[in-house]
Structure 1
Amino acid sequence: MPTKPATNETEPSASHRIDARIEELGDWRGETLARVRALIRRADPEVVETWKWRGVPVWEHSGILCTGETYKSVVKLTFAKGASLDDPKKLFNSSLDGNTRRAIDIHEGDTIDEEALKGLILAAVALNIVKKK
């Protein structure tokens, strides 16, 4: 049976890399990423932070919940199975044409509906758990 390779103890953890990205951004995008990260962690205390695709923060629980990408004018939360989630508050405003993913583009000055985002996170966790069984 294959084993996982030993982790490199000199390699920073995903959480440390996310901390560094937030600090490196140093503007509204870093503040926004920190805020959504805190919301995700409060919504699901069992969430696991990972770092994939050469620098993308990823939150997982029984599979990927969402990613947190930062661009010049937007912080994008992409939900891996967003098309399968109910979105009664219409938070999804990007990547709406695909059959799987959905995203929330957050622009400078946007207000985040914390309860609605928490609901999406919990729905994504529940979907991942059901799909895993």
Structure 2
Amino acid sequence: MAQDAAEASRLIDGRISDLDDWRGEKLAKVRALIKEVEPEVVEEWKWRGVPVWSHNGMLFTGESYKNYIKLTFAKGASLDDPTGLFNSSLDGNTRRAIDISEDDEIDEEALKALFRSAVELNGGKEIRRKA
């Protein structure tokens, strides 16, 4: 059964709320940043509870684990990462991931640049950086 975006967004709200710690805070920050970069991003809920953000195809997942959250970019191997945010799943030909632990600061500008590149790679419009 297909799920609508509103239901997926409610499920993601619930996940963030259920985490109730630094993982929820960081996942909420990631969510706000992708929506800032691409307001038309589609939120999905897949694989029995994994938040997914898509735009003309999957951009990335937002998985939560005990000691980190993981942002897995579906086409990460094709994205430039000049600041070295990708720190996981580096050996494959397709995906790349960013593991974010409790003490890690999110480099918002670098992450937004990756989001822009991922949207553009999926055939989205070129997204201009806001001054």
Spell out, residue by residue over 1:13-47, the C-alpha distance to the aligned partner (whole angstroms, 9 max, x if none): 00000000001010111111101111111111110
1:109 positional shift: 1.5
SS at match of 1:100: coil
1:127 alignment partner in structure 2? 121
* Equivalent residue runs for 1:1-133 within 5 Å: 13-129=7-123
Q: Which amino acid aligns with 2:9?
A: S
Q: Which amino acid aligns with 1:88?
A: P
Identity of aligned residues (%): 69
- Where has structure 1 moved over 4 Å in runs of 4 or more? 5-8
The structure that has the greater radius of gyration is: 1
What is the total number of aligned residue pairs between the two structures? 123
- Measure the CA separation in 2 of the matches of 1:17 and 1:6: 14
Cα RMSD after superposing both structures: 1.6
Q: Which amino acid aligns with 2:32?
A: A
TM-score by length of 1: 0.88
**Inter-CA distance 7–90: structure 2 relative to 1 (3 Å threshold):** closer
TM-score by length of 2: 0.90
**Inter-CA distance 127–25: structure 2 relative to 1 (3 Å threshold):** same
- Measure the CA separation in 2 of the matches of 1:109 and 1:115: 18
Q: Which amino acid aligns with 2:15?
A: R
**Inter-CA distance 30–99: structure 2 relative to 1 (3 Å threshold):** same
SS at match of 1:129: coil
Q: Any stretches of 5+ residues in structure 2 without a counterpart? A: 125-131
SS at match of 2:60: strand
Q: Any stretches of 5+ residues in structure 1 without a counterpart? A: none
- Measure the CA separation in 2 of the matches of 1:117 and 1:36: 8
